Amino acid sequence: MIGDQNKIIVSPKQPYFVMATSRYYKAVVMDYGISHFYSFNNDVIGNEVIAVPDGCIDMLFCCDDKQPYANICGTVLQPRIVNNKRSYFFGIRFMPGLSFNFNHVAMSDFVENQIPFLEVIKNKELFDTITTSRDFNNQIQAFLKMYIPLYQQSQAEDKNRNLKQFLLKKISATAGQIKVSELAETAGYSVRTINKVFSREFGLPPKIFCKLIRFQHLLSNLNNFDKNIFDANLAQLSIELGYYDQSHMIRDFYELTNTTPGKYVHSLKEIEYNKRLIVI
């Protein structure tokens, strides 16, 4: 049976956000249902802000002097351009299924969708505070002041809290290589219950969610390649991540990024990705 789960290891990545800027600032939280905060200027000509599947929800604020806006963005299922506006952006990436509940909006409504922030969270004061600032730390503190009481209330009312944490931890620990029947058996629930919880709390069927988590693990591995990537590296990686073979892994990666693992790693090195990513 499940108990209180701690240290959930999920580190959702959006590498094309980093590629669209000369400096991408990231403040890791891994608490309160938040993965991290981030900010960047979309200042690299020719590089659009493209989202790839991650199973998460983001709040993205465009802090433009003339036309500020903010959206709550659900996970995409295929790569998609989310912005090409030249401006300063502030964002919050939530842990899958672990943020506070959005009133009157189901998690499935966010999938492949962007809903205006003020339609869901009717807090014009917070919107104005964040979109008129360029101070990353002040934006974080302003958001947390509003968010933490809502999160704590939501957690106190969430009957599925421990189950969601358990499922997320189990899926992450196996890099998405787990069947729904195994999740159900380990958690002590029926397959029907697991499917129902996923649809309501994550907005996705568990099989698709596991695919996205495996993809995110693949991204993490590719981001850590220090040397030139060879077929031997990819073959070994495909085995470790539970793909049928190397070709299967490449097909999945292409479906979710519109590029191949080899070309992706090359692009990371070409733009000096790690120098653009600043973790604070």
Q: Are residues 91 and 171 in the same domain?
A: no
Q: pLDDT tens digit string along 139-187?
A: 999 999 999 999 999 888 888 889 999 999 999 999 999 999 999 999 9
Task: Name the residue with tokens 């600043």.
Answer: 278
Strands (E), 117-272: none
Element holding 36 (H helix, E strand)? strand 34-41
Which domain-ending residue is among 157, 185, 203? 157
Q: Are residues 103 and 129 in the same domain?
A: yes
pLDDT at residue 7 tops 60? no
Q: Which tokens belong to 3?
A: 């108990």
pTM confidence score: 0.92
Number of domains in the chain: 2
Mean pLDDT, rounded, of the chain: 90
210: domain range? 161-271
Q: Is 278 a member of any domain?
A: no
Whichever domain contains 260, its CATH number is: 1.10.10.60
Give the count of beta carbons closer than 10 Å to the beta carbon of residue 153.
12
Q: Are residues 20 and 152 in the same domain?
A: yes
Q: Are residues 135 and 24 in the same domain?
A: yes
Which domain-ending residue is among 131, 157, 183? 157
Distance spanning both ends of the chain, measured CA to CA: 37
Q: Are residues 243 and 201 in the same domain?
A: yes
